Amino acid sequence: MSASTVNIRNKKASFEYAFLERFTAGLQLTGTEIKSVRSSKVSISEAYCHISNHELFIKGMHIAEYDPASYNNHDPLRERKLLLNKAELNKIEKKLKNKGLTVIPLRVFINEKGYAKIEIALAQGKKTHDKRDSLKEKDLQRDMDRHL
């Protein structure tokens, strides 16, 4: 199966957070959820991850209902399990004990085998002056691109 063009990004995340480490995790989805993901009906802008019982879950990820599914549809905002290996989970769990760190989703995509994957990052919130610096760098880059 070839890779799809599904590539949903969390654009707000790079402005709000500084990324320390990135991971790619699988998503545990039901049948109607994967069909909605393949049709790009996903929103991760308000989603976040948390650890419960040594497992990583994502909350606030909205996957729209699949219209042809009738009464067999899923709950759009249900909590979904992220699939990582034990070493990665332990690493994330240890680092989350530090104050100010969180796990946020960066993008949802379909890999070459046809599985839904999510890229997550261990992140630290930016201060206001860091956000201003990010905006200045973005403006400078835009000006340089215009002149070229």
Residue 143 clears pLDDT 80, i.e. is over it: yes
Please give the model's pTM, rounded to 2 decimal places: 0.80
**47 phi and psi, to 5 degrees?**
-90, 155
**Quick one: what percent of the chain has pLDDT higher than 90?**
34
Mean pLDDT (the chain, rounded): 87
Give the mean model confidence (pLDDT) for residues 123-147.
84
- Domains of the chain, first to last: 7-147 (2.40.280.10)
22: buried, middle or exposed (CB in 10 Å: 19+, 13-18, 0-12)? exposed
Strand runs labelled E in 47-89: 48-52, 55-59, 62-63, 80-83
Contacts of 71 by beta carbon, 8 Å cutoff, 6+ apart: none
**88 phi and psi, to 5 degrees?**
-65, -40
| 13-65 tens-digit pLDDT | 888 888 899 999 999 988 888 888 888 899 998 998 999 999 999 999 998 88
Residue 131 clears pLDDT 80, i.e. is over it: no
Instruction: Count how many Cα atoms sit within 13 Å of the Cα of residue 119 in the half-sphere of its side chain.
Output: 15
